[in-house]
Structure 1
Amino acid sequence: MLFRCFPAFTFFALLSGCADATSPITPESGAPLTVTVLAQGLEHPWSLAFLPGGEFLITERGGTLRRFHDGVLMKEPVPGVPAVVARGQGGLFDVLPHPRFEDNRRLYLSYAKACDGGATTAVGHGEYRDGKLHGFRDVLVADACSDTGQHFGGRLLFDDDGHLFLTIGDRGQRQRAQDTGDHAGSVLRLDQDGAAASGNPFANGGNGRAEIWSWGHRNPQGLALHPDTRQPWLNEHGPRGGDEINAVQPGVNYGWPEITYGREYYGPAIGETRREGLAQPLHYWVPSIAPSGFAFVSGDRYPQWRGDALSGALKLTHLNRVRFEGETPKQEVRYLQQREQRIRDVRQGPEGYLYVLTDSNDGQLLRVETD
């Protein structure tokens, strides 16, 4: 099991021990981007997916799935979506096509589902045809029930081997993130029908749930495959400061709430900033930007950004770009600050353009381009 020194784990750190912690890199303000508003009037949009033939699907947190096609946001929502608990931070979360969607038309949704005394995070799939979702069924209902209405996680990702990753927040009950006996505060790795994937840290027993890949997370809301390593990276919310980017490795404890660079909302420190056996983040933000949505840039449309990590920022209302060399952050640049819009999701489409969703009761779908 490998644990990182801040700002990054390296082979030399493994040999010689951890170097002293350094401060986060100083963010820069980026040059203006060209922004095209493709759609507006979305009710707190949460996630964006691209389908063959140019159709986009957009989730709205209140429980609707919307279609955007041929430049038009369809008025009527997609039928067949499960009932969601749209309370607090709960609602309809991610939408993700199966890797072989063109063959099986399978579409995955994550959402807040009612449970005894509150709500939890669930994921399921149905068959999407002719603008309708047919036969939706849950494949996993997380053991993360709470009446808090907070920290559901809810991001989905397929890796190159067809494993399905799902993030679960700590549900506002922070010590659950250190308890591998339930799903709260963890990243789950599943097969395509929701069972624990073979090779998971606790798949063959031990003091943990078989679905858990990593734990010690507060509220991960962005998830993407690294373009070189093809391993999942995520961003996650800290409290007052301490938002993080982590490269998610199996069996690793990412520390919340035992270690964090954030503080209580009323001021005092929370635990420590480092402890042996708990992983340091690759990058952290103080003060919090409230990251949501995560993507790595590829292709030729943004050649100066290739390989960089993008996050939406809800609290500090910008598009955030971090350049890494390996796992070491080298530069942070912030864009779209003048628009003062909460950015909930950021995705790169199949034709190479970057798209973002803004989070409000009049949310927008934007395409952003560099000059």
Structure 2
Amino acid sequence: MTPTRLADLRKIATQYALAGMVAALALALGPAAAIPQTIETEAGPVRVETVAEGLKHPWGMVFLPDGRMLVTERPGTLRLVGADGSLSDPLSGVPEVVAQGQGGLLDVALDPTFITNKLIYLSYAEAGDDGVGTAVARGRLEDGGLTDLKVIFQQTPKVKGPNHFGGRLAFAPDGTLFVTLGDRFKFEPAQDLSSHLGKVVRINPDGSVPQDNPFIGQKDAQPEIWSLGHRNVESASIDPQTGKLWTLEFGPKGGDELNRPAPGENYGWPLVSWGTHYDGKDIPNPPTRPEFADAVRQWTPVISPSGATFYTAEPIPGWTSEAIPAWAGDLLVGGLSSESIVRLSIDDDKVTGEERIPLGVRIRNVVQGPDGAVYALTDEDNGKILRLTAENQ
């Protein structure tokens, strides 16, 4: 949960305190068949239990103020998940997606003023005349579906191929929306300012361009671009202490990266990388150059990062705390190939500690719940929502 979402939920906590208590009880009980397990961590034993299952390759998740969850399924379905683990029928009004390879229905986010306007945002792979590209749409969440759906961003150009869509959404404290965009496995366009491929972009909630974006007015540059030289960013979170954006991206064969994208900065892909190409060809050495921003942390072998959240360990008022206090302030990252949650302690833009929480399954996303617990999506045909809490609570 981003700090913006957390702050908005706090504002309305009194309206939902009773619903929160009921939902918290249901979350604690979970599905009748779920068997909790305990994992030893540096913080002590952590309890892992299944909250819901039966999801088809879930990708994005966000909590609603009443404790229900909105979850995307990559084949193109959006569902509500009850606190008791029940799955709704697919919601209507969802945009048509291209569910091929890594594409499909991707992330979901709440508008900063969701309590009054009921708007949600979806990223997805969208078809076009020349191929497929990442798009963002917003709609109003009503009973059973979305209304007033409007496409607010479309990646340019659309290209052929099933990989590297990016697609994470993160609202900044000023209300602007960051969208991560993969290079679509096309390499060179990540360095081309006339292309959205391999970029992080920043837009207003209605899709218009903030006038303080770094490439506003530059000839042939896409005005939405915030930073460039990215390969495939599938993790994005705002640090609640600084309000700054942090991202993680897939390297090629090695070289997954943690970055703090700054306006106008170039992160070097495909000219430099800490990894090598899958075909065995070297990427020019050295792995970084002075004109490019270097990664804060890189992983070889890779962790395959997908989804991330800065964890506050603070429940919403009215909810019984199920937090893991020792993890407060850390960045929690979903790991696909590492089948874990990667916990990073960060101080002064440097990683000062790291731990892997082994879960034995591909983790697609990690969020903080209103009860302060950690929730994780598993990437599988029978996708699950896992909840992590301190064993001694």
Shift of the alpha carbon at 1:299?
Answer: 3.0
Amino acid at match of 1:344: R
CA contact under 8 A between 2:333 and 2:366: conserved in structure 1?
A: yes
Q: Distance in 2 between matches of 1:85 and 1:222?
A: 21
Shift of the alpha carbon at 1:29?
Answer: 7.1
Residue 311 of structure 1 aligns to a residue whose secondary structure is strand
| Partner residue in 2 for 1:335 | 357
Shift of the alpha carbon at 1:207?
Answer: 4.6
Query: 2:369 aligned to 323, 331, 349, which one?
Result: 349
| Partner residue in 2 for 1:210 | 223
Query: Which ranges in structure 1 are unaligned for 5 or more consecutive residues?
Result: 1-27
Q: Distance in 1 between matches of 2:279 and 2:138?
A: 41
Q: Distance in 2 between matches of 1:182 and 1:266?
A: 26
Structure 1 residue 137 and structure 2 residue 150: aligned?
Answer: yes
| Partner residue in 1 for 2:380 | 360
Structure 1 residue 81 and structure 2 residue 103: aligned?
Answer: no
Structure 1 residue 71 and structure 2 residue 84: aligned?
Answer: yes
CA contact under 8 A between 1:88 and 1:149: conserved in structure 2?
A: yes
Shift of the alpha carbon at 1:72?
Answer: 3.1
1:278-357 equivalence runs, <5 A = 278-300=292-314, 301-336=323-358, 339-357=359-377
Residue 73 of structure 1 aligns to a residue whose secondary structure is coil
| Partner residue in 2 for 1:13 | none
Structure 1 residue 369 and structure 2 residue 375: aligned?
Answer: no
Q: Distance in 2 between matches of 1:147 and 1:353?
A: 40
Residues 338-364 of structure 1 show CA distances to partners (whole Å, capped at 9, x for unaligned) of: x42000000012221110000000110
CA contact under 8 A between 1:237 and 1:244: conserved in structure 2?
A: yes
Q: Distance in 2 between matches of 1:322 and 1:344?
A: 17
The change in CA–CA distance for 1:248 and 1:53 in structure 2 (over 3 A counts) is same
| Partner residue in 2 for 1:271 | 284
CA contact under 8 A between 2:58 and 2:72: conserved in structure 1?
A: yes
| Partner residue in 2 for 1:96 | 109
Query: Which ranges in structure 2 are unaligned for 5 or more consecutive residues?
Result: 1-39, 315-322
| Partner residue in 1 for 2:176 | 163
Shift of the alpha carbon at 1:118?
Answer: 1.8
CA contact under 8 A between 1:118 and 1:146: conserved in structure 2?
A: yes
| Paired residue total | 342
Shift of the alpha carbon at 1:188?
Answer: 0.5
CA contact under 8 A between 2:227 and 2:263: conserved in structure 1?
A: yes
Amino acid at match of 1:359: D
Residue 387 of structure 2 aligns to a residue whose secondary structure is strand
| Partner residue in 2 for 1:147 | 160
| Partner residue in 1 for 2:195 | 182
Shift of the alpha carbon at 1:55?
Answer: 1.3
Question: What is the TM-score with the length of structure 2 in the denominator?
Answer: 0.84
Residue 59 of structure 2 aligns to a residue whose secondary structure is strand
Q: Distance in 1 between matches of 2:108 and 2:100?
A: 19
CA contact under 8 A between 2:157 and 2:195: conserved in structure 1?
A: yes
The change in CA–CA distance for 1:97 and 1:193 in structure 2 (over 3 A counts) is same
Consecutive aligned runs of 4 or more in structure 1 exceeding 3 Å deviation: 28-32
CA contact under 8 A between 1:292 and 1:345: conserved in structure 2?
A: yes
CA contact under 8 A between 1:236 and 1:245: conserved in structure 2?
A: yes
Shift of the alpha carbon at 1:104?
Answer: 0.3
Q: Distance in 1 between matches of 2:356 and 2:281?
A: 28
CA contact under 8 A between 2:176 and 2:204: conserved in structure 1?
A: yes
CA contact under 8 A between 2:229 and 2:267: conserved in structure 1?
A: yes
Residue 190 of structure 2 aligns to a residue whose secondary structure is helix
Q: Distance in 2 between matches of 1:51 and 1:144?
A: 34
CA contact under 8 A between 1:121 and 1:144: conserved in structure 2?
A: no
Shift of the alpha carbon at 1:32?
Answer: 5.0
Residue 231 of structure 2 aligns to a residue whose secondary structure is coil
Q: Distance in 2 between matches of 1:283 and 1:342?
A: 21
| Partner residue in 2 for 1:224 | 237
Question: What is the TM-score with the length of structure 1 in the denominator?
Answer: 0.89
| Partner residue in 1 for 2:28 | none
Residue 177 of structure 1 aligns to a residue whose secondary structure is helix
Structure 1 residue 120 and structure 2 residue 140: aligned?
Answer: no
Amino acid at match of 2:296: L
RMSD: 1.5
Q: Distance in 2 between matches of 1:62 and 1:306?
A: 34
Query: 2:61 aligned to 35, 38, 48, which one?
Result: 48
Residues 110-131 of structure 1 show CA distances to partners (whole Å, capped at 9, x for unaligned) of: 1000012321000011110113
CA contact under 8 A between 1:257 and 1:271: conserved in structure 2?
A: no
Shift of the alpha carbon at 1:196?
Answer: 1.5
Q: Distance in 1 between matches of 2:388 and 2:181?
A: 29
Shift of the alpha carbon at 1:240?
Answer: 0.8
Q: Distance in 1 between matches of 2:107 and 2:137?
A: 11
